[in-house]
Structure 1
Amino acid sequence: MQALNLPSYDFKLKSNENKTLIFDNFRKKYMVLTPEEWVRQHFAQFLVNQKGYPISLIALEKQLTINGLKKRTDIVVHNTEGLPEIIVECKAPHIVIGQDTFDQIARYNLKLNANYLIVTNGLEHYFCKMDTKNESYVFLKDIPNYEF
Structure 2
Amino acid sequence: MKTLNLPPFEYKLKQSGANMLIFDVLRRKYVLLTPEEWVRQHFIHYLVNSLAYPKSLISVERGTTYNKLQKRTDICIYTNTGSPFLLVECKAAHVPITQEVVKQVSTYNQVLQAPYVVITNGLEHYCWEVDFATRKFMPLQDIPKYGFEQGFE
Query: What is the TM-score with the length of structure 1 in the denominator?
Result: 0.98
Instruction: Describe the SS at the equivalent of 1:44.
Output: helix
Instruction: Describe the SS at the equivalent of 1:93.
Output: coil
Deviation per CA, 1:23-61: give whole Å up to 9, x if none.
Answer: 101011110000000000000110000000000000010
- List, as ranges, runs of 4+ consecutive aligned residues in structure 1 with deviation greater than 3 Å: none
CA RMSD of aligned residues (A): 0.7
* Structure 2 residue aligned with 1:103: 103
Opposite residue 68 of structure 2, the aligned amino acid is: G
* Structure 1 residue aligned with 2:121: 121
* Structure 1 residue aligned with 2:59: 59
Query: What is the TM-score with the length of structure 2 in the denominator?
Result: 0.95
Deviation per CA, 1:71-128: give whole Å up to 9, x if none.
Answer: 1000000000011000000000000110110000000010000010000000000000
* Structure 1 residue aligned with 2:29: 29
* Structure 1 residue aligned with 2:144: 144
Structure 1, unmatched stretches of 5+, are none
Structure 2, unmatched stretches of 5+, are none
* Structure 1 residue aligned with 2:43: 43
* Structure 1 residue aligned with 2:132: 132
Following the alignment from structure 2 to structure 1, what is the Cα–Cα distance between the partners of residues 102 and 23?
Answer: 28
Query: What is the CA distance between 1:132 and its match in structure 2?
Result: 2.0
Following the alignment from structure 1 to structure 2, what is the Cα–Cα distance between the partners of residues 98 and 129?
Answer: 18
Following the alignment from structure 2 to structure 1, what is the Cα–Cα distance between the partners of residues 141 and 48?
Answer: 19
Following the alignment from structure 2 to structure 1, what is the Cα–Cα distance between the partners of residues 102 and 3?
Answer: 24
Opposite residue 127 of structure 1, the aligned amino acid is: C
